[in-house]
Amino acid sequence: MPKKLVLERPKGFYEKFERKPGDKSNTHYCPGCGHGVIHKLIAEAIEDLGIQDRVIMVSPVGCSVFVYYYFKTGNIQVAHGRAPAVATALKRANPKAIVVSYQGDGDLAAIGGNNILQAANRGEHITVFFVNNAIYGMTGGQMAPTTLPGMKTTTTPYGRDEDNEGPPMKVSELLATLDGPTYIERTAVWDNKSIAKTRMAIRKALQCQMDGKGFSMVETLAACPSGWKVDPKNQYEWMLENMQPFFPLGVKKDIRDERESWHRTPRDNSAEEVSEALDLNVPDPKLFPSEYKKDSYRNPSIKLAGFGGQGILSAGAMLANSAMEQGYHSSWIPSYGPEMRGGTAYCFVNISDQEIGSPTVSHPDVLMAFNRPSLEKFEADVKTGGLLMYDSTIIDVEPTRTDIEVLAVPATKIADGLGNTRMANTVMTGAYLAQTGILSREAMEQTIPKALKRKNLVDANYLALKAGMEFVENQ
């Protein structure tokens, strides 16, 4: 960098502060305010590093709420404490931007404590300038987490009492214990030497982000003469005397050399790529016409019930899926909410040539009961003239209703004969198909491979389906 012959208003600032009401060339800060000094150092660094067109400054809530008046960068003003969260997303959306979160100690350490902690731990590729003035400036000089013991503020009129408010929070040390962050340093702006160090630290932190090395933060001890009620001429003495003992300066963490450079280029996805990724590239299903055998089988509401693990939900899903592929409206809904208690799993499937209203009904047209509690609990609900199918291998009682059609299917036994009792659900579906004719076997066969997570079971399930159908057909 060539040595500058003139030290003047840095180009990181707007030429004129057009967004500011009144005076367009002064800041809104009180005389002697540390924010102003830090602003100047940042603006100069932005100019010298040649990143003015890449920086996004995040303005917090606090005295620095108007950061956006000043920096000739992208600007965004955000909710109290949330700057690290906002910066996280800005950076992910704009990987080439240099995203800077500028925060006071109330904003960062109190209300936004978790947000800074988590952003640091994620190692977000952002830079945080944290101004520690041991007080809430903007709202009238209240206590901050960093307020010193014994220090009088408007909410600690008797002085901060460690028994009541705890000791001052050392944020840099805290964050430095995390594995996520790359560079953390505490500096101060209380004399020429410390200002020079802050100037360097600000540059290092920005460079860290430019190099893709991860999370960087500079905590700077700065004056709030108005909040402290200290004459600016005495503020540096005050800081040295009061702040220095609690907030040791220095680098708290620096692993820039160990970090791999991170670079991300956002990519545009082609329509093809999107369909592929979303598993939407499925061919249109073949239509296999079928005809229901009785009027009462038309547009059924089916309740499938049994123990969890009996494949109740997936049998229902297979039915709904093949109905869809056969051109019907269909819906599937699992037992949900309060109904979920008590070990029995059930789901409703609706198949209809009309638009489906309520996905659940009190009186289903069809009940498939896979265990005794389900039979006992739901038999009474079946609609008069409806169909009740039950697994007669497992259920050792018989239904008592005489106003409905009852079909006992030894589903578990049939499945067992095929080598896997867990296919009882598919056997039952096969029996339902054969009984009602509402769905074709081909449609169901088309569905099975899609519905099964374990593809090696597909053939076995074809057999189970067939066996279920044959059981009914041979009756």
Partner 1 sequence: MSKILEEAITVVSPEHCKGCGLCVISCPQDVLFQIDGFNSKGYHPADYTGEGCTGCGMCFYACPEPAAITVYKKGAEHDAA
Partner 2 sequence: MAKELIKGNEAVVKAALLAGCQSFYGYPITPASEIAHAGALFFPRLGRTFLQAESEIASINMVYGAAAAGERTMTASSSPGISLKQEGMSYLAGAELPCLIVDVMRGGPGLGNIAPEQSDYNQIVKGGGHGSYELIVLAPNSAQEMADFTRLAFDLADKWRNPVVLLTDGYIGQMMEPVEFGESVGKLPRKEWSLTEGFNMDENLVSSIFLDTDELEAHNAHLQAKYRKIEAEEIRYEAYQCDDAELVLMGFGIVSRILRSVVDRARDEGLKIGLLRPKTLWPFPKDAIREVAGTANKILTVELNFGQMVDDVRLALNGSIPVEFYGRQGGNVPTVEEVYEVAKTHLSAAADVSA
Ligand X SMILES: Cc1ncc(C[n+]2csc(CCOP(=O)(O)OP(=O)(O)O)c2C)c(N)n1
Binding residues among 130-149 for ligand SF4 as defined by CB under 6 A: 133, 137-138
The first and second tokens of residue 265, run together, are 């280029």
- Of 103-122, binders to partner 2 (CB under 8 A) are 114-115, 117-118
Coil, strand, or helix at residue 387? strand
The stretch among 38-46, 114-122, 413-421, 431-439 that binds partner 1 (CB under 8 A) is 38-46
* 132 phi/psi in degrees, rounded to 5: -100, 105
Separation of alpha carbons 68 and 284, rounded Å: 54
The stretch among 33-41, 193-201, 321-329, 369-377 that binds partner 2 (CB under 8 A) is 321-329
Q: Which of 41, 43, 56, 63 binds ligand X (CB under 6 A)?
A: 63
Residue 407 has a CB neighbour count (10 Å cut-off) of 20
Residue pointed to by tokens 């009961």: 369
Assess 80 for contact with ligand X (CB under 6 A): yes
Assess 106 for contact with ligand X (CB under 6 A): yes
- Of 214-253, binders to ligand SF4 (CB under 6 A) are 224-227
The stretch among 5-13, 57-65, 190-198, 304-312 that binds ligand X (CB under 6 A) is 57-65
Q: Which of 192, 270, 402, 474 binds partner 1 (CB under 8 A)?
A: 192
Assess 282 for contact with partner 2 (CB under 8 A): yes
Coil, strand, or helix at residue 317? helix
Separation of alpha carbons 205 and 85, rounded Å: 18
- Give min distance, CB of 62 to partner 2, in A: 12
Using CB under 8 A as the criterion, what x/- string covers residues 157-176 for binding partner 2?
--------------------
Where is 390: in which H helix or E strand? Answer: strand 387-391
- Give min distance, CB of 145 to ligand X, in A: 9
Separation of alpha carbons 258 and 87, rounded Å: 24
Residue 274 has a CB neighbour count (10 Å cut-off) of 10
Separation of alpha carbons 450 and 431, rounded Å: 20
- Give min distance, CB of 190 to partner 1, in A: 10
Assess 41 for contact with partner 1 (CB under 8 A): yes
Separation of alpha carbons 439 and 287, rounded Å: 11
Q: Which of 9, 11, 20, 30 binds ligand SF4 (CB under 6 A)?
A: 30
DSSP conformation class of 71: B
Assess 260 for contact with partner 2 (CB under 8 A): no
